[in-house]
Structure 1
Amino acid sequence: MANDAVAGNALRVAPAQPGATDDPVRGVLAAFTKDLIKGVDETLVAFLAAEVDSLTEIDAAMGAFAATARDCVLAGGKRVRPTFAYWGWRGAVGGEEPMCSVLPALSALELLHTFALVHDDVMDASDTRRGMPTAHRAAAARHRAAGHSGDPDRYGEAVAVLIGDLCMVWADRLMSHAAVPAERLLDVRRCYDQMRVETVAGQFLDVLGENDAGNWTVDRALRVARYKTASYTVQRPLLFGACLAGTDADDPLIAAYTRYGLAVGEAFQLRDDLLGVYGDPETTGKPAGDDLRTGKPTALLMLARQLADPAQRRVLDRAGSVTTARDVDRLADVVRDTGAAARVERMIADRVTEALAALGTAPIDETARTALTGLATAATARRA
C-alpha cells in the first residue's frame, strides 16, 4: 500500500455526501476508505488465488468448487465489517500507523461474512443474493445442466454448506497472517471467537422465531438483531480492531465502542427489516416482501401486530401464507398503516443518536471519530 490516505485528508469531507451516490453507505465508504477497501480486496484476491490453486491439486472438481467459494467472497458487497474493524483499530492507534500489518485480519472478517451469508441463504431458501442466484441455487442449476443423478436441490444445499464451511476455515487461516505479536493475536482470536458464537446464537434465534412466531415478541426480535447482526456487523468488529491495536479491556475506548456498536448494529438490522418489505429489488438484489411471504417475526412485523386493530390483525395473520405479489403488497400496506414502519424509523434514529453520544466523549483518534460519525448514519440510511 503506497499510502494510508484514509487516515488523513481523505476524511476532510462532509460525512453525508448527499448526491454523491445512490447508496449512502457506498458514498461514505468510497470517500473515507478507498484505500482500505482496495487493500482488503487485493488481500482477498491474492490469498484466495493460492488457496484455489492448492485445492485444484486434489482434484479438478475440487478446484472448481473452491473457485465457486472464491467467487462468493469476491462477488461485491460493501466490506462493512472490515471497515468498522479498521476504524476500531485506527481509533486506538492514531493516524500514523500503516495498516498493512492488520490487513489480513481485517480481510478475514469478509470470509466470515461470506460463511454467514451462504448458510443464511440455505436456511432462508433464498433465490438471489446481490442480484445473482444464491450459492445453493447456482449449484443446483449446474447439477441439472450436467445431468447428474440425485436431487439437484439437495446437492445444491450440500455444496453451499461446504462453501460456507470452507470460508470459515479460510478466515482462520488468513487471520493468522496478521503481523501482530503472538500474544496479542490470541486476544484478537478470543474476540473473534466470541463474535462467531454470538452470530450462531442470533442465527438460531432467527430460525426459532420463524418456527415459533406465535410466542415471539418485539423484545425477542430485537435480541435477534443484537446477536445476529449488531454483534458481528459493528460491535465485535470494532472491538476486534481495538484488540488488534492492543487496547486493554478496561480502557474507556472499549466501553465507547461497545455502546456505539450495539446501537448502530441494531439500527442496521432494523433498516434491513424495512428493506425486506419496502426495498427496491433492483437496489437490494433480493425480492421485496420475502419476510412477509415467510412470516419472519422481525421487529417490524411484531410491532405491526402489537399496534394493529382487529381488522388489521386479521390481515397480518396471513403473513407466512401469502404467495401472490398483490397479497404481499396488501400486507406491506397494512404494516405501514399500523404505524409500525414509522416506529421503526424512530427506533433507528434513536439508536444513531445513542451511537453518536457514545462517540462524543470517547478517547478516540479524531479522524476515526469523524469516520464513525459518518458511518453511523450511512450504515443505517442505506437502500441496499
Structure 2
Amino acid sequence: MVAVPTTDQSIDAAVHLHVEDVLAAYLSERRSELPELAATFARAVDHLTDFALRGGKRLRPTFAWWGWRAAGGDADGPLARTVLRTVSALELIQACALVHDDIMDASELRRGHPTVHVRFTEAHRAGGWLGEPERFGAAAAILLGDLALAWADDLFESAALEPAMRAAAREPWQAMRAEMFAGQYLDVLAQAEGDESQERALGVARLKTAAYTVERPLHLGVALAGADQGVVDAVRAFGTDLGVAFQLRDDVLGVYGDTEVTGKPAGDDLREGKRTLLVAIGLAYAERDGRHADAQLLRGALGDPDLTPRTIEQVRELMVEVGAVAELERRIERLTSSALAALDTAGLAEPGVTRLAELAVTATRRDR
C-alpha cells in the first residue's frame, strides 16, 4: 500500500495511486475467489480489471476525498485509509457506467483502446464460435458491467467504517446509483425520440454525469466526515453546477476534441446521435437564423454511423457560425461561477475548500 500523504502538494497523486492500489488488490482477490468451474469467466474478468486500471482521471474518489477533508477529515488520522478504501469503490461504479454506455452508443474506442464489447466481439470472431459476434460481445460486456456494479457495492461495504459513518454514507451511495441509471435512460430515450429540447439535454447532464461525477461523490465525502445538512446542501449545489459544467465541456470535446488526446474518434458524439446541449443550441440557433438547410444537415449527421470527416467538419463550422459553441462556453463559465459561489457559503475548512475550487477550474477547462 502507498502511504497516506500528509502534504497538500502530494496528496492528489497519492490518492490516485492509492485508489489504483486498492482496485488492483481487490479485483485480484475477487478473481481468485471464483470457483474452478468458472476459470474461463475468471479470464473474462481480466478484461474488466484491465479496463478499470487503465487510464482514467480518478475524479470521483478525488472529489470525495477532498469533500471529506474540507468537512473536517484528518489526512493524518486513523480513518484516512478507511475513507480512501471507501471512495475507491466509486471507480467500479464508473467502470460499470462506461462499459454499459459504450454498448448503448456502439462505441469502438475508450481511452484509446477497443471497448470491452468490441474485445469480446473480436474474440468470438477470431475463435470461429457459433452465433453472432456482436451479440456475444454485447452480452459479455453487459455481464462484466453488472459485475463491476456488484463489486462496487461489495468494496463499499468492506470498508471498516464506524456504524454512524456507514449510515451517513449510504444515502449518497444509493442515490448516486439510481440517478446514474436514470440519466442513462433519459439519454437513450432522447436519442430514440429525437428530443431536441435544451431542457432534456440539461436533465441528462444533471443525472447522467453531474450527480455521480461530482455532486454525490462530494456528498459522500462530507457525509463520511459527519457534516450537517447545511454543509451537505451547499456542497451538493456546488457539485450539481460543477458537474453540469463538466458534462458541457465533455460535449464540446465530443465534437471538437483531438482523438490523440481524448482517446475517442473525432465526432463520435455525432455518430452516436447524442442529443447534447451543444446540439440542442446549434439546432435552435440555426432555425432562429433561417438556416434550415444547415439545421437539417445537423439532424442528418446525428446517429449516422457512416459520418464522413467532411460532414463532421461542416457541422463543426456550423456550430461555431451560429454561436452555439460560444453560448456553451458562456454557460460553462456561469455554472462554474455559481458553483464556486455555493462553495463559498458551505463553511468548509482549508486546505479542502481551496483544492475543491482548483478542481472546479481543472474539470471545466480540460482537454480530455
TM-score by length of 2: 0.94
Partner of 2:227: 247
1:134 and 2:115 aligned: yes
Structure with higher RCO (Cα < 8 A, 6+ apart): 1
The correspondence for 2:312, drawn from 325, 328, 332, is 328
Partner of 1:262: 240
Partner of 2:360: 376
The correspondence for 2:208, drawn from 228, 232, 251, is 228
Secondary structure in 1 aligned to 2:223? helix
Partner of 1:290: 268
The one-letter code of the counterpart of 2:216 is R
Counterpart CA distance in 2 for 1:310 and 1:296 is: 23
Between the two proteins, the alignment pairs up a number of residues equal to 360
Partner of 1:20: none
Deviates more, 1:337-346 or 1:140-149: 140-149
Counterpart CA distance in 1 for 2:355 and 2:122 is: 42
TM-score by length of 1: 0.90
Deviation at 1:310, TM superposition (A): 2.7
Q: Which runs of 5+ in 1 are unaligned?
A: 11-30
Deviation at 1:2, TM superposition (A): 6.6
Counterpart CA distance in 1 for 2:325 and 2:339 is: 21
Deviation at 1:358, TM superposition (A): 1.4
Deviation at 1:65, TM superposition (A): 1.2
Q: Which runs of 5+ in 2 are unaligned?
A: none
1:192 and 2:192 aligned: no
Partner of 1:303: 281
Change (3 A) 1:295 1:255: same
**Residue deviations 1:302-329 (CA, integer Å, cap 9, x gap):** 0011111233323323222462111111
Deviates more, 1:352-361 or 1:75-84: 352-361
Counterpart CA distance in 1 for 2:15 and 2:248 is: 27
Counterparts of 1:158-197 in structure 2, within 5 Å, are: 158-197=139-178
Secondary structure in 2 aligned to 1:149? coil
Counterpart CA distance in 2 for 1:107 and 1:276 is: 27
Counterpart CA distance in 2 for 1:241 and 1:9 is: 17
The one-letter code of the counterpart of 2:278 is L
- Contact 1:264–1:351 (8 Å) recurs in 2: yes
**Residue deviations 1:221-270 (CA, integer Å, cap 9, x gap):** 0110000000000000000111222223x2x2112211110111000000
- Contact 2:4–2:81 (8 Å) recurs in 1: no
Counterparts of 1:52-91 in structure 2, within 5 Å, are: 52-55=31-34, 57-91=36-70
- Contact 1:111–1:167 (8 Å) recurs in 2: yes
Change (3 A) 1:265 1:142: same
**Residue deviations 1:6-52 (CA, integer Å, cap 9, x gap):** x5342xxxxxxxxxxxxxxxxxxxx6501111111111111111111
Secondary structure in 2 aligned to 1:102? helix
1:113 and 2:113 aligned: no
The one-letter code of the counterpart of 1:261 is G
Change (3 A) 1:91 1:277: same
